[in-house]
């Protein structure tokens, strides 16, 4: 609760109108060619999402179970980093967890598409704690996955070797409709 209160107070203290901010300034984010992307580099306080939204705030930000968020210092806006820098279906929570409760600078891509409800959605590419000289690349996810799945060896990217995913495909197929229907769909695709 103290962490949440500090985050709120910091955000309030430094709040200025969002329209006055230029979050692209100084960004070195690599473009992904997404329709609604814009480079954004800013300072924020790291929290877990459940804490920031509901006030349920474990000191360890949930120890990796929870999604993580960024309370942007310039305007108090809650930014949701949904994606890390790796193009392999990997999120951002484990990249931000080491910075739980800290003020950080982040660089990446903001996704804004009001037609789809995408506001303050973020792809984080690099992170550094306040005062640190070096950036940490937000590309640790696959190393964490391999450490958690030492037996998932073989060829191909992690998502072809993940035991939980493969068990689900074995049970209900690639389309999730059951094995009989899956076989019929695959037969049609093969023809």
Residues that bind another protein (CB under 8 A): 4, 8, 11-15, 32, 34-37, 49-50, 52-56, 62, 64-68, 76-80, 82-83, 88-94, 111, 113-114, 116-121, 123, 141, 145, 158-160, 162, 164-165, 168-169, 174-177, 185-186, 189-190
Nearer to another protein, 115 or 134 (CB): 115
C-alpha 123/C-alpha 79 separation (Å) is 10
Nearer to another protein, 129 or 184 (CB): 184
Nearer to another protein, 68 or 134 (CB): 68
CB of 110 to another protein, least distance (A): 11
CB of 133 to another protein, least distance (A): 28
CB of 135 to another protein, least distance (A): 21
C-alpha 14/C-alpha 152 separation (Å) is 47
DSSP letters spanning 157-181:
-HHHH-HHHHHHHHHH-TTSS-HHH
CB of 154 to another protein, least distance (A): 13
CB of 162 to another protein, least distance (A): 6
C-alpha 36/C-alpha 52 separation (Å) is 25
Nearer to another protein, 132 or 166 (CB): 166
Q: Give, as one character, the DSSP assignment of residue 137.
A: E
Other Cβ atoms less than 10 A from the Cβ of 20: the count is: 8
Nearer to another protein, 129 or 162 (CB): 162
Please give the structure tokens belonging to residue 148: 């958690």
C-alpha 149/C-alpha 78 separation (Å) is 33
CB of 93 to another protein, least distance (A): 4
Residue at token pair 């660089």 = 107
Task: Assess contact for 42 and 31: CB atoms under 8 A.
Answer: no
C-alpha 64/C-alpha 137 separation (Å) is 18
Nearer to another protein, 29 or 93 (CB): 93
């Amino acid at each position: 609760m103290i962490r949440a209160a500090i985050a709120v107070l910091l955000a309030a203290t430094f709040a200025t109108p969002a329209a006055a901010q230029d979050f692209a300034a100084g960004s070195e984010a690599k473009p992904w060619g997404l329709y609604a992307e814009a480079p954004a580099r800013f300072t924020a306080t790291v929290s877990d999402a459940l804490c920031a939204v509901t006030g349920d705030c474990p000191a360890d930000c949930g120890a990796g179970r929870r999604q993580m968020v960024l309370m942007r210092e310039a305007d108090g806006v809650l930014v949701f980093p949904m994606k890390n820098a790796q193009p392999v279906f990997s999120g951002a929570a484990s990249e931000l967890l080491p910075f739980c409760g800290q003020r950080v600078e982040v660089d990446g891509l903001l996704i804004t598409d009001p037609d789809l409800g995408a506001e303050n959605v973020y792809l984080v590419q690099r992170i550094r704690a306040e005062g640190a000289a070096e950036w940490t690349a937000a590309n640790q996810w696959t190393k964490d996955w391999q450490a958690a799945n030492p037996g998932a060896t073989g060829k191909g990217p992690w998502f072809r070797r993940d035991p939980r995913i493969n068990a689900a495909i074995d049970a209900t197929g690639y389309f999730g409709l059951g094995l009989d229907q899956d076989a019929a769909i695959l037969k049609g695709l093969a023809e």
